[in-house]
Structure 1
Amino acid sequence: MSTAALSTPYQAEFDANSQEFSLAGVIRPRTVDEIAATITALRHAVDGARGVVYINVKRLAQMNNTAFHAFARVVLDACRERTDLRFVVVTSSVVGWTERMFRHLGKIEPQISVEVYDSKFYPGQDFVEDTSFIPILRTQTKMTWRHERTILPRHGMRAGIAMADICCGIGDFAALVRKEFRPARIVALDHSRASLAYARNVAGQFGITDIEYTYGDASEMLLESDQFDLVTCRHSLQIFNQPDVLLKELYRICKPGGRVYITNEKNSHCLGEPRSQSIQWTYEEVAKLFSHFEMDVEMGPKSRRYLADAGFEDIRVESFMVSNLDGDPQDFADIITAWENVYAGEMAVKRGDSPEFIRRFRQGFQDHIFAALHPKGYAGWPIWAASGRKPL
């Protein structure tokens, strides 16, 4: 059901299989009559439901009191008439007002509860959204930009376009794109408040005012459909346990004929010389460690399949090797140090690995640093860049 009677359309849908009633967009009627069809649909959905009914408001950008009281009346009446029913209102921290508004219903009626789904919405969230990741992000972008500035025009980057950088991290990629390619509009979205605060602070220091840094959940974005010529999402599909869900959203906000550009890694192919065997063992274990937390840092070569399954056409894939020869070898060594601190210092400990394993695990990172800084050494980190065009 798509309702356009109001000045701004909203969507209301019921999935009978999951017993989930979803509301999205802006619902601001002057009178209840304007949303009468949706209220009736909700009543019918509740009447035919058994057990738990989910009210999904993760994409509900705005709702006025007229609409809220009309929807609340249906739910409260159902609770009083049907003791067998429970209601779970699924909200998002991105639209925090929904939690505050709907939490009030739970205080009135114990059959109603509220879940903020993205407080723990992917297994690696604690590691990825921690401030300890900021040094990794900053140095990684510094190293990869040397390659990506050449690659990006082949994947749809050009002056004057509307661009969205989803899972933007600390915003440095968006700032580099702004300087190099001059898009007409850049929206940079991330779910980490710490990273966004860093991005906004740096932007303020350099007088950058034309990047729209936005707090959001990449799997349930409030951004409108079909509005960006290029959508980028770098090093992020691989850390989300449902990459197909993210790709569906990237596809949705991309204009028909526009492109979605992604980068991902294959960590088990990180390499170094000398001490290659120790290095190889550690990065094979990195892949297993991430898999334990439902993240896939082997995703790089799978990019073509993921883009095809998401409905993209004209898929382009290429890979490049970031190495200690890309500028100052110390930069590469700094990346590895940051990896060691998070992977061996936090993730392996949380998995419950033994001190003996962690010691050997750390040694591989130390040997990779040795290779990066050795006057005759080589250290490499492979990345796959891919893009697909949204059909017209």
Structure 2
Amino acid sequence: MTANSSSPVFTTQFDASNQEFVATGVFRPRSIADIADELLLLRDKIETVQGVFYVNLKRVTHMNSTAFRALARVLVDASRSRPELKIVVVASSVVTWATQMFRHLSELSPNISMEIYDSAFYPGQTFVENQSFIPILRTQTKMTWRHEREILPRHGLRNGMVIADICCGIGDFVMLVRREFNPARIVALDHSAASLDYARSVAEEFCVRDIEYTYGDASQMLFEGDQFDFVTCRHSLQIFDRPELLLRELYRICKPGGRVYITNEKNSHCLGEPRADSIQWTYNEVARLFRYFDMDVEMGPKSSRLLLDTGFEDVRIESFMVTNLDGDPQEFADVIQAWEDVYAGEMSVRRGDSPEFIERFRQGFKDHIFAALHPRGYAGWPIWAASGQKPL
């Protein structure tokens, strides 16, 4: 069933095998009359099921108060007329206020519950959304861009393409791609409202009007399939606990014959000299720490297998080492300091590590900084870049 108004199209359907009412798109009716058919479908199907009834709002990107009140009324009425039925509303954190409001329904009716399906996919999101981390993200991109501007053409990026940067973060990489490769169209999507706000503000400062910034969930994108020539997703698979979901979406939105480009790290291979042993110990512990939070910062060398498993062909993979010799060594040191603050100051504390462990953990970062700034020192951060072609 499809509804049309002055707002973009939204659709609803019922999946009998899963006892699931599914809504997709922008849910902004001007009045309840605009969604009368959808509400009727919802009421009718609730009457036909036993056990658990799912209301799937995963791919609803916007919802106004009219839609929320109408849905809430149907659900509350059904919960009272059928107290034996469990009703589960499944939504994405993309529509923040709606998820908060739906949670309140459980206070009205104990047989209604709310699930935020994507929260587990982004276990590292809160660690990098702090505004103080933004300068470091920009510095990291500046350091990696020295390498990637030469790497990207080897993976198929050319002028005039239609490009999507998925998990774009603060938008610094997509700005560089725009300047260097002059795309016909460029879209940037991220799950963090704070990061996108920053990206849009920077674009405004530089009078950039042609980057389409989009708020959304990378594992359930609303983009049509087969529409981008080149899709990038950098340093993001490693912070998903189910990267295969994201890879399938990257594959879906890429045109046949187009390419998907990913970068990921292998943190245990970070190195430095002098004080190599302390540095090695700390980055081995970083890898263990991320695994505790269901993230994999050892993913870099696995990229080829992941792309092939998703169905890509002509897979290309290479690695590069960002070092203190690439530019200003202080930039490298600043990045390491930020890692110490987040990994030892937040993540290790949240895991419940002892003060003795955290002190040793911090020391390894300090030794890495020492190596980066030492006049005869060397410090490195390895990254794997990989790409695959979607079959024609």
Q: Same fold (TM over 0.5)?
A: yes
Counterpart CA distance in 1 for 2:203 and 2:103 is: 36
1:287 aligns with 2:283: no
Matched with 2:239 is: 239
Q: Using the TM superposition, give the Cα deviation of residue 151 of structure 1 relative to its aligned residue in structure 2, in angstroms.
A: 0.8
CA contact (8 A) 1:39 1:70 kept: no
Matched with 2:48 is: 47
Could you say if the C-alpha distance between residues 205 and 105 of structure 1 is closer, same or farther in structure 2, counting changes exceeding 3 Å? Answer: same
Matched with 2:353 is: 353
Matched with 1:197 is: 197
Matched with 1:364 is: 364
- 1:125-158 deviation digits (Å, cap 9, x = unpaired): 2212222331331111011001100111122311
Matched with 1:126 is: 126
Matched with 2:226 is: 226
Matched with 2:88 is: 88
* Structure 1: gaps (5+ residues): none
Could you say if the C-alpha distance between residues 208 and 37 of structure 1 is closer, same or farther in structure 2, counting changes exceeding 3 Å? Answer: closer
Matched with 1:147 is: 147
1:390 aligns with 2:390: yes
Q: Using the TM superposition, give the Cα deviation of residue 207 of structure 1 relative to its aligned residue in structure 2, in angstroms.
A: 1.4
Could you say if the C-alpha distance between residues 368 and 79 of structure 1 is closer, same or farther in structure 2, counting changes exceeding 3 Å? Answer: same
AA aligned to 1:266 is K
AA aligned to 1:348 is S
Matched with 2:167 is: 167
**Aligned length, in residue pairs:** 388
User: Greater CA deviation, 168-177 or 21-30?
Assistant: 21-30
CA contact (8 A) 2:124 2:239 kept: yes
Could you say if the C-alpha distance between residues 76 and 347 of structure 1 is closer, same or farther in structure 2, counting changes exceeding 3 Å? Answer: closer
AA aligned to 1:277 is D
- 1:345-365 deviation digits (Å, cap 9, x = unpaired): 111111111111111111111
Could you say if the C-alpha distance between residues 237 and 36 of structure 1 is closer, same or farther in structure 2, counting changes exceeding 3 Å? Answer: same
Counterpart CA distance in 1 for 2:96 and 2:368 is: 44
CA contact (8 A) 1:132 1:342 kept: no
Could you say if the C-alpha distance between residues 338 and 31 of structure 1 is closer, same or farther in structure 2, counting changes exceeding 3 Å? Answer: closer
Counterpart CA distance in 1 for 2:122 and 2:16 is: 23
Percentage of matched positions with identical amino acids: 69
Matched with 2:309 is: 309
> How high is the TM-score relative to the length of structure 1?
0.87
* Structure 2: gaps (5+ residues): none
Could you say if the C-alpha distance between residues 62 and 202 of structure 1 is closer, same or farther in structure 2, counting changes exceeding 3 Å? Answer: closer
Q: Using the TM superposition, give the Cα deviation of residue 282 of structure 1 relative to its aligned residue in structure 2, in angstroms.
A: 0.5
User: Greater CA deviation, 175-184 or 123-132?
Assistant: 123-132
Could you say if the C-alpha distance between residues 82 and 134 of structure 1 is closer, same or farther in structure 2, counting changes exceeding 3 Å? Answer: same
CA RMSD of aligned residues (A): 3.1
CA contact (8 A) 2:12 2:21 kept: no
User: Greater CA deviation, 171-180 or 34-43?
Assistant: 34-43
Counterpart CA distance in 2 for 1:74 and 1:201 is: 40
Could you say if the C-alpha distance between residues 49 and 254 of structure 1 is closer, same or farther in structure 2, counting changes exceeding 3 Å? Answer: farther
Counterpart CA distance in 2 for 1:120 and 1:315 is: 29
User: Greater CA deviation, 114-123 or 192-201?
Assistant: 114-123
Counterpart CA distance in 1 for 2:264 and 2:136 is: 15
